[in-house]
Structure 1
């Protein structure tokens, strides 16, 4: 337990630092939205590109990791749709519940993987991101379409944005450079690596800035359902799948970490743009991020 706490503790402190800075409105203006854009469009893609382009991905059991993570994601996606009538949620609220149960915070995931298992953990995390980001984005956009919260124009914009997602593009480019044997030649490796190193601390602080403590007062059926799936049932299923599939300790830990992550802060923007319940989404993001500070270490201690 102490080893897990020592690895994850600094990450949570950076998130709390961001929450304090956001509460104090420091440094003010549009600094944080612009910084978050910089992290999302440049620094984090640089980190993924650097890791995937130079890593020995052959050591990662990609197929088994995919079965564990994507299998659990698809199962709960289908379960939510089958239970939609029983949940008795309005269409906007349901799309926020859907996002809250399936999306994951990539900043916390990659930072946690690096803290737990160093470069080997970061490599498995980059593979997990490459597998999960395209699938979860397609599933969430499809949920808005099926729920009927957006029109044809919004659908077109959503699909266009999906094709330009910087994380997806960085993963595709990194894998292509790796498989081609080109890698990152010359100074480009050190340059891209330096950019990537700035992504995690700044990204974690930005996660804290995005928290909305006032949203925690909302505790309805949607909140309880989403938190139950995201923080308890999803990691429990993935833990069982990793044991059944016989994953090595590093891949097992990172798969469990990604299954137990709180939902992504970007889900709030998507909810606001595509007709979801933005207030509910803010409650889910804030509540899950704070609860994950307790649940993540507990899940990871189960693997020893």
Structure 2
């Protein structure tokens, strides 16, 4: 992440952070991440656990959306700001930051938790209900409006569908393919962290926006993880999986929301500030939630 921040400042060969991040995230999303998804889900335990991860993530995010909608409506936030901040307060950075954090904290098995939370719950919710929200509060300037479901037609979801089919049919990956997928998977974590550093824009920090960011911090970093911690007690999962899932939902705001804000003319600068602030605060809040989870589970 620090290297990505340094790149944003120095701009080697004149390449801006936005140019570099666009290329890297595209390569990860369309090539390296599908390889990891196929590698992990092919051998993962898929079944009741997966449904519980989906329920935990969807209900928690809906809770976060509702909390911030109430706050924003009460304080009469402008629509462009309210739409952007509902996304910032509700959707965590489960993959780009959650994957490396959980893998280093719990071990390689946590990859399965992250991928199932993302592909079975968070991304489908973002590309359906999330897009409905940004369309409502923003402005769609394209002449031909695409269905929200179109965003789910992407390589990570294809890889997930293929992996689930192979997994449920008991097919075993040949050694050469398994080795290739694992090799490609190793590129995901460093590229994700580097891209996250590129996305942190300190120039977006404006003192006048602090009153809008404070409720995001309250909902995203405190209320949503607390609600997830309450909810996970009602699920039948191993304790370490419960801890990993809640910690993943405690991640800072999702970087991808910046793209949606730009696309639908929401307040992208305010969203970028929310991402930067919550990511910086996560250096304190994630260890805090980890200690809580270890004491509880």
TM-score, structure 2 length as denominator?
Answer: 0.88
- RMSD value, Cα: 2.2
Q: Write the deviation string for residues 233-270 of structure 1: whole angstroms up to 9, x where unpaired.
A: 11111112223435322211211112111112221111
Q: Hey, what does 1:196 align to over in structure 2?
A: 185
**Are the equivalent residues in 2 in contact too, given 1:134–1:168 (CA < 8 A)?**
no
Q: Write the deviation string for residues 187-227 of structure 1: whole angstroms up to 9, x where unpaired.
A: 22221221111011111011001110121224333211212
Distance 2:284 2:171 in 1: 42
Q: Hey, what does 2:54 align to over in structure 1?
A: 66
| One of 84, 91, 94 as aligned partner of 2:79 | 91
Note the residue ranges of structure 2 that are not aligned, 5 or more in a row. Answer: none
Note the residue ranges of structure 1 that are not aligned, 5 or more in a row. Answer: 1-14
**Are the equivalent residues in 2 in contact too, given 1:120–1:250 (CA < 8 A)?**
no
Distance 2:223 2:130 in 1: 19
Distance 2:72 2:285 in 1: 26
- Residues 123-272 of structure 1 mapped to structure 2, 5 A cutoff: 123-131=112-120, 132-150=122-140, 153=143, 155-156=145-146, 159-160=149-150, 162-218=151-207, 219-245=209-235, 247-272=237-262
Distance 1:302 1:139 in 2: 31
Q: Hey, what does 1:119 align to over in structure 2?
A: 108
**Are the equivalent residues in 1 in contact too, given 2:63–2:224 (CA < 8 A)?**
no
1:21 aligns with 2:7: yes
Distance 1:299 1:223 in 2: 20
| One of 262, 265, 280 as aligned partner of 2:270 | 280
TM-score, structure 1 length as denominator?
Answer: 0.86
1:295 aligns with 2:285: yes
| One of 18, 26, 31 as aligned partner of 1:42 | 31
